[in-house]
Structure 1
Amino acid sequence: MPILVITGTGTEVGKTVATAAVAATALGVGRSVAVLKAAQTGVRPDECGDAEETARLAGAVTTAELARYPDPLAPGTAARRAGLPPVRPQEIAEAAAKLATEHDLVLVEGAGGLLVRFDETGGTLADAAELMAAPVLVVASAGLGTLNTTELTARELRSRRLDLLGVVIGSWPTAPDLASRCNVADLPEVAGAPLLGAVPTGAGALAPADFRAAAPGWLAPRLFGSWDAEGFRGRETP
């Protein structure tokens, strides 16, 4: 798995913190890691972007960002409004391939969901994943609505014959409601792929050393961690 594409089922689902957790656990088992942010939106040139936030939390990762646009919009729209060149799927694939020659693992973080548009021709992260023939990790929310968006994302991946590695809950609440607890069992079913972790709410606010120490306990062995899916399901499913 030299390249892993990480997408959300939408915005604000915990994708960047989940990416940092994967990076931290991979570093912890001796892998060299690069994080590629395909397009950063809604951030000024002097602000920390998602790739830098991943490095702050995870540790010694190589970071790369292909473009940055000031408006907090879909990359294609933000590029057009800024009068700047868009990022195209081929550029994402080429940058990831170059990083993969020098690192054991390249994490390619998208912007929002799988089909958010990057350019005027409708190019998406899914198109880039196809070019890379890379597996995709889906970061989903915990509560109401997540089954629909997760299944839609999984169906799109299957229609493109892309490998859905699994699903990670990007922000698991400290006091989960009934819907969240039921979704622990239902998410793997609607995705047709295993649940590979649950990152606790507020994880991104931890001190970096504490984040790195805790991250393996949030992710399954497939993602270099020690999280026990069956045990988690047994504790949380009503």
Structure 2
Amino acid sequence: MAVLVVTGTGTEVGKTVVTAAVAAAALAAGRSVAVLKAAQTGVRPGEPGDVEEVLRLAGPVTAAETRRYPEPLAPATAARRAGLAAVRPHDVAERAAALAAGHDLVLVEGAGGLLVRFDAAGGTLADAAALLSAPVLVVASAGLGTLNATELTARELDRRGLEAAGVVIGSWPGAPGLAARCNLADLPEVSGLPLLGAVPAGAAARPPDAFRTAAPGWLAPRLDGTWDAEAFRAREAP
């Protein structure tokens, strides 16, 4: 994978922390990494955004944004309200391809879910992934509601002929409830995608050195980690 697109099943599912964990694991494996935020919203000029958080947690990655907008809205809406140029899928694809020329891995983090609109023409992260011919990693929540959202995302990737790398749970609770524990078996069944990791809740609050050391243990070998889905299910599932 020269480019891996990271999407969520919605907002606040742990997409940035998963991106940081994937970056940290790749760095630990000796790979050079760039992280591109397709569209940063809710952040004003000079304020730290998601790529700065990835840089803080993961270590020496090349961090880039395509565009940023001050209001925490969908990129197309935020661009329109701010009177700024919108992000187009081609902008994201061109920036990612340029970064891929000098890095072993480029992580393209979306904004919200797969079909959040970037521009008035209806361009999305899915369109950027298609232009890049890049696999898409789906970050999902652990508990109630995640099955429907994850299955819908997987179906849309399949409908568009896009490769889905798998699913990572963005925030695994320290004391998971019954729904979260059942979802370890149900998520792969309903989505048809493998579970590729589970990042513990509160991971971003760890000191960066501790985050980097632990990150490979949260991710499967396909993501340069050592996490074993079957062993995790055996320990956590009901």
TM-score normalised by length of structure 2? 0.99
How far apart, in 2, do the equivalents of 1:90 and 1:66 lie? 11
Find the residue that maps to 2:47 and give its secondary structure.
Answer: coil
Q: 1:44 offset after TM fit, Å?
A: 1.6
1:171 — aligned with what? 171
Find the residue that maps to 1:19 and give its secondary structure.
Answer: helix
Give deviations 1:179-201, integer Å, cap 9, x for gaps. Answer: 00000011111111100000000
1:93 — aligned with what? 93
Q: 1:48 offset after TM fit, Å?
A: 0.8
Matched, 1:157 2:163: no
In structure 1, stretches of 5+ residues that fail to align are none
How far apart, in 2, do the equivalents of 1:3 and 1:60 lie? 18
Give deviations 1:27-83, integer Å, cap 9, x for gaps. Answer: 000000000001100012121100110010000000110111000000000000000
How far apart, in 2, do the equivalents of 1:186 and 1:54 lie? 30
2:141 — aligned with what? 141
1:201 — aligned with what? 201
Find the residue that maps to 2:90 and give its secondary structure.
Answer: helix
2:105 — aligned with what? 105
Find the residue that maps to 2:30 and give its secondary structure.
Answer: coil
Find the residue that maps to 1:227 and give its secondary structure.
Answer: coil
2:128 — aligned with what? 128
Q: 1:211 offset after TM fit, Å?
A: 0.2
Identity of aligned residues (%): 76
Find the residue that maps to 1:30 and give its secondary structure.
Answer: coil
How far apart, in 1, do the equivalents of 2:126 and 2:190 lie? 19
1:218 — aligned with what? 218
Find the residue that maps to 1:139 and give its secondary structure.
Answer: strand
In structure 2, stretches of 5+ residues that fail to align are none
How far apart, in 2, do the equivalents of 1:15 and 1:43 lie? 17
How far apart, in 2, do the equivalents of 1:45 and 1:206 lie? 27
For the aligned residue pairs, the C-alpha RMSD in angstroms reads: 0.5
How far apart, in 2, do the equivalents of 1:112 and 1:150 lie? 13
Give deviations 1:154-183, integer Å, cap 9, x for gaps. Answer: 000000111100000000000000000000
Find the residue that maps to 1:45 and give its secondary structure.
Answer: coil
Q: Give the counterpart letter for 1:194 in structure 2.
A: P
How far apart, in 2, do the equivalents of 1:100 and 1:70 lie? 28
Give deviations 1:203-231, integer Å, cap 9, x for gaps. Answer: 01111000000001100000000001100
Q: 1:14 offset after TM fit, Å?
A: 0.2
